[in-house]
């Protein structure tokens, strides 16, 4: 009895011990840490714990007796398993807080977990890793995100092939090929390869694009490639950085509105590109700023137009609208203010009340104008198309006035006696006038009988 009780106690103890030792602080999956690599290329995964989550670096954690372990869950699998670091050629290896793939293969895609632990303490985090194939006929895959760098125009700049150090021993000199939008470039204009970098001598807007560097080297007799893509974006030169320029309102333009109508004043400001600057623009009415406008009739609307020839620069238009404006409100102070880090510009709009013509006079003038217009139109149409109108009238409503007029013929045709004219008269003219319109023609040869009509 005593013995079995002791046994149960022991069992419970071991189970609880196991449970506590299995417990681990799981910080879940850090999807921001997605690493992407190309099939067949070397890549390293760094355990994110030491970057953003712990104050310790790997060396201090290691000397404190903590060990780092790696697990992974293959794509489409449920089971988390230890990573096999005993593959041929040391394809996957561990070095401090880094997991190396020499090289990575398509089926290495999955979620990776690194776990830091001792007997009483455990912490783990997961992150995704994706291995991609390059697109057919391309030096890249469109699914791999490219880094973006921003170069000011008319300046020199150095484009460095990123994330290549530490991949090969220091005594190895790799070769590098540069591609612009995946076309191998041998002799760039204005851009010179310099070691693993590309030196831009004078940045132009047309140099914008995807730059891919492929670094090739041999290690232990095996060739390897590292493919990196950077998107180069250009931005206006700092030499053109200026305080904002106000286009409207200005001293020359006066805005006139009818009392009871809508007030509508645009504030248009050109902002050149200024590094790390805000672009503020706002209306004030009698010193009251936009945030304090409570009247429902007041609307403020903003639109932005980019300056295509000057990347980073833009025109911002902020429109102030007030419905049912009163004569008093037309005397208010409407001031627009624009600001960037280099300066402020502020201007009051010149607003006047428009003495409008009374409404019924406008309506009367409109009515008269419309009538006159219609009459003129009718006269013009009649002049141009009178023949068609007469014929149309006759065809549809008219009695044939050629019958009751007591004349035997309606038309006398005289013509030159050659074959061409004769054919025109006898076939075309006669066909149309006699058959279609019902006139009777007197044609010299046909109808002039001796003693007939004159
Ligand atoms: C790790 O951190 C310690 C102290 O915080 C520092 O002395 C050491 O240089 C660091 N090691 C690395 C590899 O950064
Ligand atoms: C991954 O694919 C390679 C061939 O592409 C194969 O040799 C290897 O066994 C695969 N690994 C796993 C874990 O399925
Ligand atoms: C990684 O895990 C997340 C859920 O935590 C899952 O949605 C995702 O599909 C996994 N990725 C891969 C490649 O297995
Ligand atoms: C395990 O690590 C934690 C955190 O560094 C430390 O406080 C604790 O004393 C360590 N436990 C053992 C048994 O080393
Ligand atoms: C640069 O690459 C991205 C994605 O890889 C693509 O969407 C974009 O169109 C490319 N730009 C140029 C100018 O080729
Ligand atoms: C390296 O890249 C070059 C050019 O894209 C290609 O011809 C070569 O086959 C690649 N080598 C390896 C080992 O992937
Ligand atoms: C903008 O300013 C930051 C520092 O505030 C600097 O690091 C960066 O290089 C500048 N960018 C350009 C395009 O001048
Ligand atoms: C209109 O208001 C602005 C500030 O809101 C002020 O600087 C300016 O002096 C005012 N104009 C007049 C005529 O009061
Ligand atoms: C603001 O202006 C934009 C374009 O100018 C327009 O599409 C939008 O409807 C306007 N909004 C209001 C509330 O007037």
Three-state secondary structure of 281-293: EEEEECCEEHHHC
Confirm or reject: Cβ of 174 under 6 Å from ligand 3. Answer: no
Cis status of the peptide bond prior to 383, with omega within 30 of 0? no
> CA distances (Å), 143 to each of 15, 165, 281, 329, in order?
47, 24, 39, 57
Equal CATH topology for 147-235 and 241-353:
yes
Report phi then psi at 15, rounded to 5: -60, -50
Specify which residues 35 forms β-bridges with.
129
Task: Identify the residue with better confidence: 105 or 449.
Answer: 105
SS3 265: strand
Distance 311 CA to ligand 5 centre (A): 18
Q: Which helix or strand (DSSP H or E) is residue 233 part of?
A: strand 222-235
pLDDT band at 420 (very low <50, low <70, confident <90, very high): confident
Give percent above pLDDT 90 in the chain: 57
The ligand whose atoms approach the alpha carbon of 130 most closely is: 3
Give mean pLDDT, residues 95-115: 94
Domain 147-235 -> CATH class: mainly beta
Give mean pLDDT, residues 97-101: 95
* Per-residue three-class SS string for 269-317: EEECCCCCCCCEEEEEECCEEHHHCCCCCEEEEEEEEECCCCCCCEEEE
122 contact partners, CB below 8 Å, separation of at least 6: 23, 24, 25, 115, 116
Distance 138 CA to ligand 3 centre (A): 28
Which of 41, 104, 216, 221 maximizes ligand 6 atoms within 8 Å of its Cβ, making it the mutation to test the pocket?
216
Distance CA 240, CA 229 (A): 29
Distance CA 255, CA 332 (A): 13
Report phi then psi at 391, rounded to 5: -65, -40
What is the residue extent of each domain of the chain? 18-132, 147-235, 241-353, 374-443
Evaluate if residue 2 carries a pLDDT over 80.
no
Question: Which of 14-23, 332-341, 426-435 has the weakest average pLDDT?
Answer: 14-23
Distance 33 CA to ligand 2 centre (A): 24
Distance CA 37, CA 112 (A): 14
Which pLDDT score, from 0 to 100, does residue 31 have? 84
Which pLDDT score, from 0 to 100, does residue 33 have? 81
Q: What is the CA radius of gyration of the chain?
A: 44
Atom of ligand 3 nearest to the CA of 76: 14
Atom of ligand 6 nearest to the CA of 223: 13
pTM: 0.66
pLDDT band at 268 (very low <50, low <70, confident <90, very high): very high
The ligand whose atoms approach the alpha carbon of 121 most closely is: 4
Task: Identify the residue with better confidence: 141 or 31.
Answer: 141
261: number of Cβ within 10 Å? 13
Which of 83, 105, 110 maximizes ligand 2 atoms within 8 Å of its Cβ, making it the mutation to test the pocket?
105
342-357, pLDDT tens digit by residue? 999 999 999 999 886 6
Distance 63 CA to ligand 1 centre (A): 11
Distance 353 CA to ligand 4 centre (A): 80
Which protein residue's CA is at the shortest distance from atom 7 of ligand 9?
303
21-78, pLDDT tens digit by residue? 468 888 888 888 899 999 999 999 999 998 877 788 899 999 999 999 999 999 989 9
Evaluate if residue 438 carries a pLDDT over 70.
no
Query: Pick from 220, 221, 236, 321: which is nearest to 272 by CA?
Result: 236
Distance 144 CA to ligand 6 centre (A): 18
The ligand whose atoms approach the alpha carbon of 275 most closely is: 7
Let me know: does 214 contact 179? Beta carbons within 8 Å. yes
Report phi then psi at 94, rounded to 5: -110, 135
Q: Which helix or strand (DSSP H or E) is residue 21 part of?
A: helix 2-22
Q: Strand locations in 13-66, DSSP E?
A: 25-29, 35-38, 43-46
Which of 49, 50, 60, 98 maximizes ligand 1 atoms within 8 Å of its Cβ, making it the mutation to test the pocket?
60
The ligand whose atoms approach the alpha carbon of 334 most closely is: 8
The CATH number that domain 18-132 falls under is 2.60.40.10
Distance 225 CA to ligand 6 centre (A): 6
284-332, pLDDT tens digit by residue? 999 999 999 899 999 999 999 999 888 899 999 999 999 999 999 999 9
Evaluate if residue 3 carries a pLDDT over 80.
no
Give mean pLDDT, residues 135-147: 93
Evaluate if residue 7 carries a pLDDT over 50.
no
Task: Identify the residue with better confidence: 339 or 389.
Answer: 339
Task: Identify the residue with better confidence: 187 or 434.
Answer: 187
Evaluate if residue 16 carries a pLDDT over 60.
no
Confirm or reject: Cβ of 219 under 6 Å from ligand 6. Answer: no
Distance CA 56, CA 75 (A): 31
Distance 324 CA to ligand 8 centre (A): 23
Evaluate if residue 168 carries a pLDDT over 50.
yes
The residues lining ligand 5, judged by C-beta closer than 6 Å to any ligand atom, are 142, 146, 181, 209-210, 231
Evaluate if residue 117 carries a pLDDT over 70.
yes
Which pLDDT score, from 0 to 100, does residue 13 have? 40
426-433 contacts, C-beta under 8 A, 24 or more apart: none
75 contact partners, CB below 8 Å, separation of at least 6: 107, 109, 110
Distance 351 CA to ligand 8 centre (A): 13
| Cα 351 off chain centre by | 37
Let me know: does 208 contact 307? Beta carbons within 8 Å. no
Let me know: does 334 contact 285? Beta carbons within 8 Å. yes
Q: Which helix or strand (DSSP H or E) is residue 6 part of?
A: helix 2-22
Evaluate if residue 8 carries a pLDDT over 70.
no
Task: Identify the residue with better confidence: 95 or 413.
Answer: 95
Query: Pick from 104, 92, 123, 87: which is nearest to 36 by CA?
Result: 104
Confirm or reject: Cβ of 105 under 6 Å from ligand 2. Answer: yes
Which of 28, 29, 131 maximizes ligand 3 atoms within 8 Å of its Cβ, making it the mutation to test the pocket?
29
Task: Identify the residue with better confidence: 452 or 393.
Answer: 393
Distance between start and end Cα atoms, the chain = 156
Which pLDDT score, from 0 to 100, does residue 105 have? 96
The residues lining ligand 4, judged by C-beta closer than 6 Å to any ligand atom, are 64-66, 118-121
Which protein residue's CA is at the shortest distance from atom 14 of ligand 8?
333
Which pLDDT score, from 0 to 100, does residue 19 have? 43
Query: Pick from 314, 141, 153, 154: which is nearest to 233 by CA?
Result: 153
208-253, pLDDT tens digit by residue? 999 999 999 998 889 999 999 999 999 998 888 999 999 999 999 9
**Which CATH architecture best describes the domain 241-353?**
Sandwich (2.60)
């Amino acid at each position: 009895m005593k013995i079995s009780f002791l046994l149960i106690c022991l069992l419970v103890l071991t189970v609880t011990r196991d449970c506590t030792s299995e417990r681990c602080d799981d910080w879940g999956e850090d999807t921001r840490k997605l690493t992407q690599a190309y099939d067949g290329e070397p890549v390293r995964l760094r355990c994110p714990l030491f970057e953003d989550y712990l104050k310790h670096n790997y060396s201090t954690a290691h000397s404190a007796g903590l060990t780092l372990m790696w697990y992974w869950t293959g794509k489409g699998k449920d089971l988390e398993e230890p990573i096999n670091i005993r593959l041929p050629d040391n394809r996957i290896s561990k070095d401090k807080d880094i997991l190396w793939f020499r090289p990575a293969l398509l089926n290495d895609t999955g979620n990776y977990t690194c776990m830091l632990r001792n007997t009483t303490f455990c912490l783990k985090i997961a992150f995704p890793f994706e291995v991609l194939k390059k697109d057919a006929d391309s030096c890249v895959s469109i699914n791999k995100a490219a880094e973006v760098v921003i170069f000011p125009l008319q300046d020199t700049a150095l484009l460095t092939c990123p994330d290549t150090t530490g991949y090969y021993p220091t005594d190895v000199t790799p070769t590098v090929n540069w591609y612009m939008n995946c076309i191998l470039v041998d002799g760039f204009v204005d851009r010179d390869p310099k070691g693993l970098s590309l030196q831009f001598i004078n940045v132009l807007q047309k140099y914008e694009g995807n730059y891919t560097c492929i670094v090739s080297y041999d290690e232990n007799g095996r060739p390897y490639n590292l493919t990196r893509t950077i998107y180069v974006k250009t931005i206006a030169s700092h030499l053109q950085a200026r305080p904002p320029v106000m286009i409207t309102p200005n001293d020359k333009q006066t805005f006139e509105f009818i009392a009871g109508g809508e007030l509508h004043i645009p504030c248009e400001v050109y902002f050149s590109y200024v590094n790390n600057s805000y672009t503020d623009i706002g209306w004030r009415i009698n010193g009251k700023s936009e945030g304090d406008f409570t009247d429902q009739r007041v609307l403020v609307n903003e639109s932005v137009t980019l300056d295509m020839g000057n990347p980073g620069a833009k025109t911002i238009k902020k429109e102030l609208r007030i419905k049912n404006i009163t004569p008093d409100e037309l005397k208010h102070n409407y001031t627009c203010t624009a600001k960037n880090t280099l300066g402020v510009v502020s201007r009051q709009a010149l607003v006047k009340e428009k003495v409008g013509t009374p409404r019924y006079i406008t309506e009367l003038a409109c009515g008269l104008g419309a009538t006159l217009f219609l009459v003129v139109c009718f006269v013009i149409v009649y002049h141009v198309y009178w023949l068609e109108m007469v014929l149309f009238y006759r065809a549809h409503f008219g009695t044939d006035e050629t019958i009751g007029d007591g004349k035997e013929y309606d038309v006398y045709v005289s013509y030159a006696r050659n074959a061409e004219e004769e054919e025109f008269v006898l076939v075309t003219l006669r066909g149309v006038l006699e058959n279609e319109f019902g006139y009777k023609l007197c044609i010299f040869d046909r109808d002039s009988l001796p003693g007939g009509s004159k």
